[in-house]
Structure formats: structure tokens, C-alpha cells
Amino acid sequence: MDEIVKGKQSLIFPHAPRIISASSVAGSKEAEGPLKKLFDKTGKDDLFGAQTWEEAESSMQKEACMTVLHKAGIDAEEIRYLFGGDLLRQGIATSMGVEDFQIPMFGLYGACSTSGEALALAAMSASAGYGRYMMAVTSSHFGSAEKEFRFPLGYASQRPLSAQWTVTGSGAFVVAGAEAFPDADDASSPENGKTGDSGEKTVRFSHVRISGITVGKIVDYGLKDSQNMGACMAPAAMDTISRNLSDMGRTAAYYDRIITGDLGYIGSAILADLLKGQGHDIRGRHLDCGMMIFDRETQDTHAGGSGCGCAAVTLAAYVLPMIERGEWERVLFVPTGALMSTVSFNEGASVPGIAHGIVLEHF
């Protein structure tokens, strides 16, 4: 099994599963940001037809799942297993968001690293031949996350400059096995562009694969400031990136881009320093979804974007199309999470981080 198992924490898939479609649903502030033209769907009032922020987040997840199925040109019942999660207590946005699809499901929690966790497990399952198609979905919502972790929006609390702005958005992905079900990857088939019953067009990726993963450990530098999550998560990103490089015998230069999930401006600066200390130079090839999704000058999101939805919608709307077109050949995608709850930080516990690495390649 040396063919698959690499180093301490990584896997390389000999027959890499493919990401055949991705969808992004985003909120109104995100729709005013730099990626505005790239999202599949955007909301106007961030309620998405619901009465509460929590229901709104579930509506977004449902919409993201429906959209990704339409884009892939497949039905929900063709998805073997679903891997999903969010930031809310007991992952309630996912439970309520995906229940209508009746897909056998695994609920996940990895804070804002959940999109990486979901894609890793979907790729592991697809590569092992456990089914033809797997789905990964995650979401976050500014309104529900502020209520969950800080204060309800109605309180109009002031936020420190180190705070990040939780992205309102949901991203979903269909992962197809390559070896066990070679016909699952008929991406370049004439199906592409077909208009389905819903009036939505099939838009499959033909050239994106997940060639490997690096599963993250919990990394705790003892930081306790829940309003500076970038700093709490940067050590975990460093750990996963340097482990990916050593497990796979690579240097940072192997990747066209190393893209972290939501370190924001503060965390990204810390990451560069920490990696330099490890002998890795990521200058010129590092991007962070939390820095890309909002405009720093005009949108006033302090240290940048964050949340389960941040990395997911940026991956779906911007990163994967770049790989599909071959503008980037190899990307290390590293969603980062801050492992805390309101109870843990009120009880004085530290905020450890976790990050999972997904190796995405053009083929």
C-alpha cells in the first residue's frame, strides 16, 4: 500500500478521483465583492426565503446541492454518500439543509476547515470504489455565525480590527471515482451544455482531479483570542503545508498556488513567517480565500473573510475553474479551522487550529 500511503499524514491516489462539478451560492455582501460575477447564485436579503438566519443557511446549502446536481447532470439518488458540515452547534444547518435529498450522509465538524475534511473523505471514498459519485457540501452565514459565536446582529456590537467577517455562502462539489467507475467521468461527453428539466445547463469539469490529501492534526499554540482567528489557525496551516511537502517529497515550488481557507490578512502574514522558519518560501504563490472574497478598501471586513462558506465558494467559483482551464496546473488547497465553542472560550480554553490539505491538479 506504499502506493497510496505517503509519510505520516498523506495519501496519494493512484487513480485520482475527479471533481466533476461545483456550485456556489453567496450572500449580498459577497455579491458586491471581487468574485461577484463568478457565483452561481446570490441572495438579495441574505434570508433566502427563510424566517431565521439558521433556516437561511439551510436554504443556501439546499440550493448549492441542487445546483451542483444540475451542473453535473445527475440526480440526488445517484450520489452514494454525502459529507457535509457547517459552523453551527450540532451542525444543524447541514442536517436541515440536506435532509430532503435523502442521500446517506456523514455529518462533519472541522470549523472552517470542513470543506477540506469533506473533500478528503469524499475523495477517499470515491478512490476506494465505495460508490460512483460522492458529494461534499459546507456553508456559513454571517447572521447565524455572529449569533452562535459572538452577539446577535441586533446588538450592533463593535468588532476589533483583528476580527474577520463570516462569509454568507455555501459551496457543493460532486466527486467521481476514476478506477472503479471509469464511466463516471464522462465530463467531456456531449452531455455538457444540455439543458435539464430545471432549465439549468449541465456544466461539468473535465480536467480537475484530487491527486492526494494531507489530513491535519490539531495544532495548539495556546492562543485564546477568539476575535483573532487568523493567528489561531496559522500554525495549523503551517503544520499541514510543511507536512504535505515532506510527506510527498516536494518543495513549495511544486505548486502553482498554495491557497489557504480563511487566515485573512493577519493569519496569512503569520503563516508566511512560520513557513519561512521551516525553510519554505511561499511568496508569490500563496493566496487566501479570506483575502480574495472581499475588497479590502471598500468593504470594511477588517482582517478579511472567514467561515465554512469562505473557502468553499471561493474554491467553487474561482479556484476550480482556473484549474479546469489549465491556468493553474497544481494547487494545494488548505482550508483552516479554529476549534472553539462559546462555552470553551468563556471557560478560558485556548483556540487550537486544524487544517486539511487537498492536492488539486489539472489533467
Distances from the Cα of 361 to the Cα of 19, 103, 118, 149, angstroms: 10, 28, 18, 36
From its phi and psi, is residue 59 left (phi > 0), alpha (psi between -120 and 50) or beta?
alpha
Select 2 or 297, whichever has its Cβ closest to a copy of itself: 2
Helix (H) or strand (E) holding 308: helix 308-314
The minimum distance between CB 35 and a copy of itself, in angstroms, equals: 27
Select 9 or 115, whichever has its Cβ closest to a copy of itself: 9
The minimum distance between CB 38 and a copy of itself, in angstroms, equals: 30
CA-to-CA distance for 341 and 225, rounded, in angstroms?
Answer: 12
Select 47 or 180, whichever has its Cβ closest to a copy of itself: 180
CA-to-CA distance for 165 and 56, rounded, in angstroms?
Answer: 17
**Cα 285–chain centre separation:** 19
Distances from the Cα of 61 to the Cα of 92, 200, 206, 210, 322, angstroms: 11, 18, 24, 23, 24
Select 95 or 299, whichever has its Cβ closest to a copy of itself: 95
The minimum distance between CB 128 and a copy of itself, in angstroms, equals: 4
The minimum distance between CB 123 and a copy of itself, in angstroms, equals: 11
Select 145 or 323, whichever has its Cβ closest to a copy of itself: 145
CA-to-CA distance for 254 and 275, rounded, in angstroms?
Answer: 15
Select 112 or 289, whichever has its Cβ closest to a copy of itself: 112
The pairs formed by 186-195 with CB atoms below 8 angstroms and a separation of 24 or more are: 187/18, 187/20, 191/73, 194/73
Q: State the CB neighbour count (10 A cutoff) for residue 74.
A: 23
The minimum distance between CB 115 and a copy of itself, in angstroms, equals: 13
Q: State the CB neighbour count (10 A cutoff) for residue 247.
A: 19
Select 4 or 269, whichever has its Cβ closest to a copy of itself: 4
The minimum distance between CB 109 and a copy of itself, in angstroms, equals: 4
Select 5 or 253, whichever has its Cβ closest to a copy of itself: 5
Distances from the Cα of 225 to the Cα of 171, 176, 206, 217, 351, angstroms: 28, 40, 43, 20, 7
Binding site residues, a copy of itself, CB under 8 A: 1, 4-5, 8-9, 11, 52, 54-55, 80-81, 85, 87-92, 95-96, 98-99, 102-111, 117, 120-121, 124-125, 127-131, 147-148, 180-181, 215-218, 220, 339-344, 347, 349, 352, 354
The DSSP output letter for 345 is: H
The minimum distance between CB 7 and a copy of itself, in angstroms, equals: 11
The minimum distance between CB 344 and a copy of itself, in angstroms, equals: 5
CA-to-CA distance for 166 and 99, rounded, in angstroms?
Answer: 24
